[in-house]
Structures are given as C-alpha cells and as structure tokens.
Amino acid sequence: MKPIPEGMSPRIEEVRRLKQKGLSMTQIIDRLSGEAPATPNVTPNTPRSATPPKPAASVPQTHTPPLHLTLDNIEYPAYMINQNFELVWINEHAQQRFFGGHPDLPQTSDARNLFRLLPVGRNEWGSLLHFHVGLAKSRLSPDSFGNLCRGLDPVTYARLQAAYIETVAEPARPVVQSTVILPGNAATKEVEQFHTAYATFFREGIFIALIPEAEYANEMLDLLARRDEIIRGLLRKRLPVLTQLAVLVSDLQGSVKICSELPPAEYFELINEIWRVLAPIFRKHHGTCGKHVGDGLVYYFFPQPDSDYLANSLACAQDIRQEIQRLSKAWQLRKQWFNELFLNTGITEGQEWLGTYQSPTSVEFVVLGDTINQAARISDFARHGSIWVTKSLISRLPPEERNRVVYGVRRRAPEGREVFVSSSFSQMSSLLEQEGARMEKLHDIATLSVTEIVEIRPPSPPTPLPGEGW
C-alpha cells in the first residue's frame, strides 16, 4: 500500500466529508479550487473552468523514475482509445485499476466503448468522467455522443448526458493535462489520491496516462514529446478487434502495358504520383491504409462518430475516379499518347478481425476474412474506372445516404443494345455470362450480388423553416 503524501490526507478527508454531504465530484473540485492557488500548466475539465487543487504542503518524491520512460515501464494506468472512444490498447495497471484485473477486453469494437467499461456511473469517479467527456465534447456532436451512450442503464446514460452539458470542451492542443481524483481500490490496495491525467492526440487515436501527483511528471511529458515513438509502440501493441468495416480495393487497369511503354523511372513516378494525389482524398473520407500491392490500393473504412463509414467509402471512390481522370489527361498531354488511366474499384462491407503485422521498421494494418478477398475480386471484374459494390453494402446504407446514390446494372436487350436498369443488382456469374468472359479467379464470388455506382449526388440543402426565407 502506497503512503499518502504529506499534506494530501487532510484534502482527501475533506473530499470524503463533502461527498457524504451529497456533493458531486464536480462540485467538490469547484469547492476545493477556491482554497488553493491556481496550478500552472493544468488544463481544466470541469464546469466554470475550475482549476483542481494541489496539496498545500510540498510533496516529497516517493518514486525513483526510470532513466528513460517508455510505454513498457509506465507503472500507472495507461490506455489508448480511437476516435470513437473505443479502447484499442490498455496496460496491466489500468486493467487492475478499472476492470478488476480481467486480462481480456471484449472482442467487438462496440463493447470496447470507454464509457461502457469505465465505472463512470458512480459518483466517486466523477472527476475522471468529466476529464473524458471534456475530450469527447470537442470532437463529438451532442447526437454523436448520445449514440456512444446508447444501451447504458438509464441512470448512467442521464449522468453522461448531464456531464456533456456541464463540462468544458478541451481545446485542440498536442497534450492535455488535468487533475483528477481516483477513488481507492481495496483489491489493489490503492488509496484515494489526486492524479495528473495526460492525453496526447494522434490520427489513430488518443493516448491517456494517469500519474499520481508528485510522481515523474517531467519524464511523462518527455515521453509524450516523443510522438513518433509513442504511436509506433501503440500500434505494435494494438489489440485485435472484431469490427464493422468497408474495404475498398483499387487496381490500375493495363498496368503491364503502361509499364512496358514507360521508362522505369517514369513508371515509378506515375505510381508515386497516383499515391500522392489520392492520399488527401482517403484522409478526407477517413480511410485507413491497408497495403499497397504494386500498383494497387487497399483501404479500410471504420465506423466514425460523425459520419457513416459506408457512405464514406462510396464518396471516396467517386472522388478517386474524378482525380484519376484529371491525372490521366495530364499524362496524355505530357506523353502525347492515347492511354487512359483507370483505377478499377471494388467495395464491400462486413465484420472482420482487425490487427497489425509488424516488422522491425514498420507496422501494417491487416484485416482477416473474406471481406478483403471479395473486394479484390470485384476490383478484378471492374473495367474503365468503374466502381462496383455489393448489395449488402447498399442495403446497409442509411436511407438518406442511399437516396443520393445512383446505381444499377447494364443489361443487354434481346436486340443486342445495352440498357441501364437503375436500382438493380446482379449475381457476378450473370455478368460474366453477359460479357462472355471466363475468369477463373472470380468463380469464388459467382453468387455474390453486386451493382455499379454511377454517381453520388450532393446532399440536398436543408428545407428553410417558415419565415426563414423564400
């Protein structure tokens, strides 16, 4: 059992007394903040920008920090959440402190929701609740935050919604630092104690560490400054998760012919230019790079707090097609040739295991299962820059998103002319028969129902309310 630092015990006793009077943790922190001088470099997370207190007396150093702090030797709770506030990594100290020592997290992404797993429904965890809600409020709309809390018991749900309204949103900054109070834990012999909560932000998620006050704060800030080291370490430690996703596979049509016509330097220049101009499009639509195979692209789209991941994958494919058309014209002018550049795209959706493959120098996201294979086969079938998707993906789109999509199948009439049948699907085997094609590698998706995406219309402008305009 760790001793209570000198000067801390009276403060803890005062916290207990105020709790017995029925005050919430937010009210307690506000009350105590008037009794202590403001703490420099601490970002508030409680209503009215209250600054949590520091112990009045100096606190002796009770721990000899390691010479070089790393993710592996953090001796206090640390974890990483993604943009949906789902746990993707957690150390053993956080497992002991928050989850009773259970070594395994739930398998599905929804069940790893931080607000479902942390004991935030209890009053003694109020300051930790407000810290996390402050992180969420600057990133999630009220509706999106409400969606994260669905399925919780009514009391916990109401507490989270009230915290969202009361808590000050954290401004955008590389590192957020705040003071929270963690209650005692008889199982781990932890005493109730003030902690400094650190959060640092990456495109892949948010890393959080909770360090007892007066411990090695300087070493923690030094670790957080080494952003590349942290994210590489976190990605290597990321736990596999069963998640919903869409998979997009695009392949350059006629790459062998183009390669044979260009000098090697110019061919690699072309491929690198394709990757370079498409990278901002994938970021715009929240795509995660899977793997570049030669001149092909694999990207994953995961559920997002403020957008639909299936609609993101379709919008991304349409923007890719438009950008490749522009690039194709530029290379036709440059080379004075008649070749056209086409990226043929296949997209499908499913629930698969997401994990990482690691080498000494890189980390690569990998999806296991049939979803990626189906997307790759559909991409093999597509021609002339077309976008083909599965019926299951279209069916799972929200109605307002599905109404914006123009899709269908081109069929041959008895007299031989081609007719586009809107809002229809076809089994892959029927499409191959119609084209008179025999593609052995497509036989494993012969019964898959697919359709071609022709256009995605922009969202309709909102209807003005009476009296707001003509």
Angle at 12 between CA 8 and CA 14, to 5 degrees: 120
**Residues 129-135, mean pLDDT to the nearest whole number:** 90
Do residues 327 and 334 lie in contact, with contact meaning Cβ atoms separated by under 8 Å? no
The DSSP result for 269-290, as a single string, is HHHHHHHHHHHHHHHHTTEEEE
Given a contact cutoff of 8 angstroms between Cβ atoms, the answer to whether 220 and 54 are in contact is no
Nearest-angstrom CA–CA distance, 227 and 174: 10
Residue type (1 letter), 462: P
pTM, whole model, 2 decimals? 0.72
Instruction: Give the integer Cα–Cα distance in Å for 273 and 276.
Output: 5
Comparing 181-185, 245-249, 443-447, the range with the smallest average pLDDT is: 181-185
pLDDT of residue 300: 94
- pLDDT of 387 strictly over 50: yes
pLDDT at position 13 is 63
408, HSE (Cβ side, Cα atoms, 13 Å): 10
With a cut of 70, say whether residue 340 has pLDDT above it.
yes
Q: What is the mean pLDDT of residues 211-222?
A: 74
Is 374 a residue whose pLDDT tops 50? yes
Average pLDDT over residues 58-71: 56
Domain ranges of the chain: 9-54+68-239, 242-456
Find the mean pLDDT for residues 67-96: 84
Given the candidates 3.40.50.10320, 3.30.565.10, 1.20.210.10, 3.30.70.1230, the CATH classification of the domain at 242-456 is 3.30.70.1230
Most confident of 167-171, 183-187, 355-359: 167-171
pLDDT of residue 67: 53
* pLDDT score of 155: 84
State the average pLDDT over residues 235-242.
83
Quick one: pLDDT band at residue 218, thresholds 50, 70, 90? confident
- Which of these, 316, 320, 312, 451, lies nearest to 388 by C-alpha position? 451
Question: Which residue did the predictor score with more confidence, 463 or 254?
Answer: 254
